[in-house]
Structure 1
Amino acid sequence: MNGEVVIDPVEGKRGRALFVDTGRRFASREPHAVPQLRGEQLELVDPAKNPFFGHAAHQLFVARRGDAVVGRISAHIDRLALELPRQQGFGPGAGMFGYFDAADEAVAHALLRAAEDWLRGQGMDRAIGPISMSIWEEPGLLVSGQDHAPMIMMGHHPEIYQHWIESAGYARAKTLLTYDLDVTVGFPPLIRRIVQSGQRNERISLRPVDLSRWDEEVETILAILNDAWSNNWGFIPFTNAEIAYAGKKLKPIIHPQINLIAEVDGKPVAFMLTLPDINDVLRKVNGRLWPLGWLRLLRWMRKPSGAGMRVPLMGVRRELHNSRLASQLAFMMISQIREVAIAEYQTKRAEIGWILDDNQGMKAIADAIGSTVNREYAIYERSLAS
């Protein structure tokens, strides 16, 4: 395409709407992308509603060529990320970009330059992304697995974006993996023996989350998460406001029997969250609640029969890391959740992840139960030195 590319910063309600609708238009062109709820997407970029902005500065941009909007990008700085050790991926000087969509390579490079200039003006010396916008929302660019639809809370991007980002001088900093599991296939004999051994251990107990005291359960889960993941690449702890926000958002799709807390000697030491894949129903209602999409969505949330399941988060306290007990607890939770998902929801497929490509412990667990990598997401980095 010919014509000058102009990058405009956008803000306010109308600017955020243009930014979100631009992304929705690009997503609609992808055969396996799943239309998300527009209201939810608007909330994620609204500083008045998303507590992420309580510790972040940001700027949204759209690209224009003549009268046409031909791309978008965000530039943002997470102040909590700046406080982390640099070897964990962020640290001082680490700015980010996200929500990247472009019509062609010229637009892509213009958008990346605009994000870099903004970050440089804020004193940053590196650009890392795409991270849209919190590390806990949709991190990474899909670089493998475009041939099937993403599960809940995972991004989907065309293959060409990888070339455009890399041709702008970005190098891969980290790869995130998701694993596909056919839950109708039983676990290998060794894993079954490990699970049975744990079931005979009177010190170990697994319990479903208690929705009647959901706020307390969320605090327990995220306390374990913040401890378990604290040394991981890219880890940024949840704030109290984010804990409350996440709890409110997740509660409608939490089914207690497939969300477990593991206790040893009565102390919570591990958890596993499992979410039914809401993309199943969003695809059917085309991401729209009106006129009847809301009714179909409510029915599905009560009983997501046939839905795929995603395990987005699990954690075991650091004191148990690299121990036999840690992997045993993981296998026990996976086994129990698998049995319930099959019996109660007729689930046939599940997804585990994302998992960092250097997290050997979690990769070994995923391999041991017969799951295979089905998608890869790349996070890129580039120096902003002049």
Structure 2
Amino acid sequence: MKYRMYMVSIEKVVSKPERKAFISFPSSLYRGDPNWIPPLMMERLEHLSGKNPGTEHIQWQAWVAKKNGRIVGRITAQIDSLHRERYGDDTGHIGMLDAIDDEEVFSALFAAAESWLAAGGTRKITGPFSLNINQESGLLIEGFETPPCALMPHGKPWYAAQVEQQGYGKGIDLLAYWMQRTDLSFSPALTRLMEQTRKKVTIRCINRKRFAEEMQVLREVFNSGWQHNWGFVPFTEREFAVMGEQLKYLVPDDLIYIAEIDSAPCGFIVGMPNINEAIADLNGSLVPFGWAKLLWRLKVSGVRTARVPLMGICKEHQFSRIGPVIALLLIEALREPFARRHIDALEMSWILESNTGMRTILEKIGAKPYKRYRLYEKAL
């Protein structure tokens, strides 16, 4: 099916060649942008297929916009049954938005996405998500001058104005914090609190022999700790199991830590080498020599930056005196293995702008906000 608005043609993405063109479009749009990192085609194709465990609860459709036969924009629309269970049967989402600076293109893309969502009963739209809030989220509105870390989106400066022109308003902002490893420091008062808490809290590495079980422990802590956050959707067992299989090969054991009190898990942290640094010059392909380069860079030569994509403190401890200290102990646990691997800097992301507790902790130990992503909302 095709939608047409003036000189813009909107086409549904259905076949594998069309999905490849959809995935490849941003690389042409961002040509000349030194901060653009092409995603791995293989990984993106799996993301937009039944191999993505999120598709068990997410229905989605993608479109491209064309002018004179050339792709000039793209968008997806999603309906997430888990989101609807929590927030109502009238919710839906948009995502994977990229386009030239042209109001007609944005209008045509959003018309197609909103029409599809409305047909599915949607009256409240949030996003962008790729494909839900537990994957790439937000529209970059500050921080265009640096490349994105792994599993974080990039963007063009005109996106925000074009999205707002379509009637979307701010829902909430997500922040990414940057920290030089050598800047990580704890005040004497924090150090005393951490030493006192060590008597009650055990920080241990993940047990690789029980990796699948350990990942479900992380899932339970995450779902407990994040359940009241804006737009929260729980991870399913299969989603975390698949994520675990990926982390097993990409993240060393001593970069995943679990906090326990009386042998009961109460928090965790994952420090992931910045894969974007390793794939920046591969142009989205692992053939013919991309696999070798990627493995060499991750396992031998190393990368110099990392990202903390997952961290959680159990609900029962979040607002207690001990909760913030558990977070500090988990962050501290990464310092020595990062130093051993010559990882010089890390991104902590993403943090809800409303999460003043975590933001205060990060700023007290030397981290600075350097990117801002916006989640939008609109009532149809």
What is the TM-score when the length of structure 1 is the normalising length? 0.93
Residues 213-362 of structure 1 correspond to what in structure 2 (within 5 A)?
Answer: 213-303=210-300, 305-342=302-339, 344-362=340-358
- Equivalent position amino acid for 1:30 in 2: D
Is residue 207 from structure 1 mapped to residue 207 from structure 2 by the alignment?
no
SS in 2 for 1:84: helix
Q: CA RMSD in A?
A: 1.6
Please state whether the residue corresponding to 1:291 is helix, strand or coil.
Answer: coil
**Which position in structure 1 is the counterpart of 2:114?**
116
CA distance in 1 between counterparts of 2:113 and 2:8 reads 14
Aligned residues of 1:210 and 1:217 also touching (Cα < 8 A): yes
String of CA shifts for 1:240-278, please: whole Å, max 9, x gaps: 221221111221111111210011111111101110101
**Whole-Å separation in 1 of the counterparts to 2:155 and 2:190:** 35
Alignment partners' CA distance in 2, 1:170 and 1:195: 44
Judged with a 3 Å threshold, the aligned counterparts in structure 2 of structure 1 residues 186 and 314 are, in CA distance, closer, same or farther, namely closer
d(CA) in 2 for partners of 1:138 and 1:5?
27
Instruction: Report the number of matched residues.
Output: 374
In 1, Cα distance between the equivalents of 2:33 and 2:121? 36
Aligned match of 1:192: 191
> Aligned equivalents of 1:361 and 1:9: distance in 2?
43
CA distance in 2, matches of 1:156, 1:167: 20
| Residue matched to 2:85 | 83
List per-residue Cα deviations over 1:295-346 (Å, max 9, x = no partner).
Answer: 121122224634211111111111112112111111111112112211x111
- Distance in structure 1 (CA, Å) of the matches to 2:368 and 2:303: 21
Q: In the aligned structure 1, how far is the partner of 2:221 from the partner of 2:20? A: 36
- Does structure 1 conserve the Cα–Cα contact (< 8 Å) formed by 2:13 and 2:63? yes
Matched, 1:125 2:123: yes
Is 1:381 matched with 2:380?
no
Aligned to 1:148: 146
1:29: how far off? 4.6
Residue in 2 aligned with 1:12?
15
Q: Which amino acid aligns with 1:236?
A: V
37-46 or 285-294, which moves further after superposition?
Answer: 285-294
Q: Structure 2 stretches of 5 or more lacking a match?
A: none
Q: Equivalents in 2 of 1:29, 1:53: separation in Å?
A: 34
- Partner residue of 2:364? 368
- Mark the runs of 5 or more structure 1 residues left unpaired by the alignment: 86-90
Aligned residue identity for 1:350: L
Corresponding residue of 1:54: 56
Conserved 8 A contact 2:278-2:298: no
Equivalent in the alignment of 1:42: 45
Change (3 A) 1:138 1:304: farther
> What SS does structure 2 have at the residue aligned with 1:112?
helix
CA contact (8 A) 1:73 1:115 kept: yes
Q: Quick one: structure 1 residues 62 and 378, their matched pair in 2 at CA, closer, same or farther if it must change by over 3 Å?
A: same
Question: Structure 1 residues 340 and 197, CA, compared in 2 at 3 Å: closer, same or farther?
Answer: farther
For the Cα contact (< 8 Å) 2:272–2:307, is it kept in 1? yes
CA distance in 2, matches of 1:127, 1:304: 44
After superposing the two structures, state which structure 1 stretch, 18-27 or 123-132, moved more.
Answer: 18-27
Distance in 1 (CA, whole Å) between partners of 2:159 and 2:301 is: 34
Contact 1:108 1:165 in 2 (8 A): yes
Deviation string 1:165-202 (CA, Å, 9 cap, x unpaired) is 01111101010001011111241323333323333x1x
* Residue 129 (structure 1) shift: 1.5
Q: Does 1:65 align with 2:49?
A: no
TM-score under structure 2 length normalisation? 0.94
What amino acid maps onto 2:165 in structure 1? S
CA-to-partner distance for each residue in 1:74-132, whole Å, 9 max, x for gaps?
011001101114xxxxx331111111111222101210111111111111102211111
Q: CA deviation at 1:284?
A: 3.3
CA-CA distance at 1:56 after TM superposition: 1.5
Query: For residues 292 and 65 of structure 2, what CA distance do their matches in structure 1 show?
Result: 37
Partners of 1:3 and 1:66 within 8 A in 2: no
Of 153, 173, 179 in structure 1, the residue corresponding to residue 177 of structure 2 is 179
1:102 aligns with 2:115: no
| Partners of 2:366 and 2:192 in 1: CA distance | 16
* 3-state SS of 1:324 partner: coil
Distance in 2, matches of 1:135 and 1:279, equals 20
